[in-house]
C-alpha cells in the first residue's frame, strides 16, 4: 500500500502495527510543571506541563512548547510531585482564613517560591520568594508578606532548588522570537489580491 505522504513510503508503517506492545507504565515519563515570565516586569506564571524523563529534558521541552511564540525572559520547570498545594477554596473565601498550619520544627532555612491563584480559570502567579524552614513555614510567611488584598483561592509552595531556571546568559535563546514573522497573522495579507481578482471578474463580464 502506498501513502500519499512520501515520508511514509520510506518506512514500512504497517510492520510496526503488527509489533505493537502495550505501553510500559511510565512510557510517557513524569510530568513537570512549567512557569514562564514573558517580560521582566511581569511575574512568573504557570502555563502547563511537559512530560520528560528528567529536569534537563523538561527544560528543553518547555522552551519549545511554551515559549516558541511571543516573548520570554524566564522559564522554569519543576516536577509536579515537588509542589505543595493548598486546598482550593470557594470564591469568597481566602485560603488563609480556612487553612492554618503549624510551622515545621527545623532550623535549616531554604528559599521557597510562592504562587497564588486569585480567580478560578486564571493561572497561578508568582508572588515572591520566602526564606523558611519548611513548606508550612513558607506558606505562613508568604501569607504575612503577600496576602494583602485580593482573595487568595489557592497556594502553591515550591523549594527554589527543586526548580530549574534558565541562566541569565541563556536568555539569548529567545532573542530571535520576534523575527519569525511567518507565524504572524499580519504576514498573510491578501485583500489586494481578492480586490484585484474581483475587478478582473467584473471587467470580463
Cβ contact 77:55 at 8 Å: yes
Sites for other proteins among residues 179-198 (CB under 8 A): 179-180, 182-185, 187-188, 190, 193-194, 196-198
Please tell me whether residue 203 binds other proteins under the rule CB under 8 A: no
CA distance 59 to 66: 10
Cβ contact 139:113 at 8 Å: no
Cβ contact 115:74 at 8 Å: no
Please tell me whether residue 16 binds other proteins under the rule CB under 8 A: yes
Minimal distance, residue 111 CB to other proteins, in Å = 17
CA distance 52 to 30: 6
- Using the minimum distance from each CB to other proteins, give the nearer residue, 4 or 41: 4
Please tell me whether residue 7 binds other proteins under the rule CB under 8 A: yes
Minimal distance, residue 173 CB to other proteins, in Å = 4
Minimal distance, residue 78 CB to other proteins, in Å = 11
Cα-Cα end-to-end distance for the chain = 48
Please tell me whether residue 176 binds other proteins under the rule CB under 8 A: yes
Please tell me whether residue 25 binds other proteins under the rule CB under 8 A: yes
Sites for other proteins among residues 27-56 (CB under 8 A): 27-31, 33, 46-54, 56
DSSP-assigned letter for residue 89:
P
Sites for other proteins among residues 78-117 (CB under 8 A): 79-88, 90-91, 99, 101
User: In degrees rounded to 5, what are phi and psi of residue 97?
Assistant: -80, -20
CA angle 55, 57, 60 (to 5 degrees): 115
Minimal distance, residue 51 CB to other proteins, in Å = 6
Sites for other proteins among residues 114-173 (CB under 8 A): 120-121, 123-124, 135-136, 139, 154, 156, 170, 172-173
Read off the C-alpha cell for 168.
541569565
Amino acid at each position: 500500500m502506498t501513502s500519499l505522504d512520501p515520508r511514509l513510503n520510506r518506512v514500512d508503517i504497517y510492520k510496526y502495527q503488527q509489533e505493537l506492545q502495550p505501553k510500559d507504565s511510565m512510557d510517557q515519563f513524569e510530568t513537570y510543571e512549567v512557569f514562564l515570565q514573558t517580560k521582566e516586569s511581569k511575574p512568573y506564571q504557570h502555563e502547563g506541563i511537559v512530560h520528560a524523563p528528567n529536569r534537563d529534558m523538561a527544560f528543553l521541552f518547555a522552551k519549545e512548547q511554551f515559549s516558541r511564540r511571543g516573548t520570554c525572559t524566564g522559564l522554569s520547570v519543576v516536577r509536579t510531585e515537588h509542589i505543595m498545594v493548598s486546598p482550593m477554596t470557594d470564591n469568597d473565601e481566602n485560603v488563609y482564613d480556612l487553612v492554618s498550619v503549624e510551622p515545621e520544627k527545623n532550623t535549616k532555612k531554604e528559599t521557597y517560591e510562592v504562587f497564588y491563584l486569585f480567580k478560578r480559570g486564571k493561572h497561578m502567579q508568582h508572588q515572591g520568594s520566602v526564606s523558611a524552614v519548611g513548606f508550612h513555614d513558607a506558606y505562613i510567611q508568604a501569607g504575612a508578606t503577600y496576602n494583602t488584598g485580593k482573595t487568595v483561592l489557592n497556594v502553591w509552595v515550591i523549594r527554589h532548588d527543586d526548580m530549574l531556571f534558565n541562566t541569565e546568559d541563556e536568555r539569548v535563546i529567545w532573542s530571535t522570537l520576534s523575527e519569525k514573522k511567518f507565524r504572524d497573522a499580519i504576514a498573510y495579507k491578501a485583500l489586494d489580491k481578492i480586490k484585484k481578482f474581483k475587478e478582473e471578474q467584473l471587467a470580463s463580464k
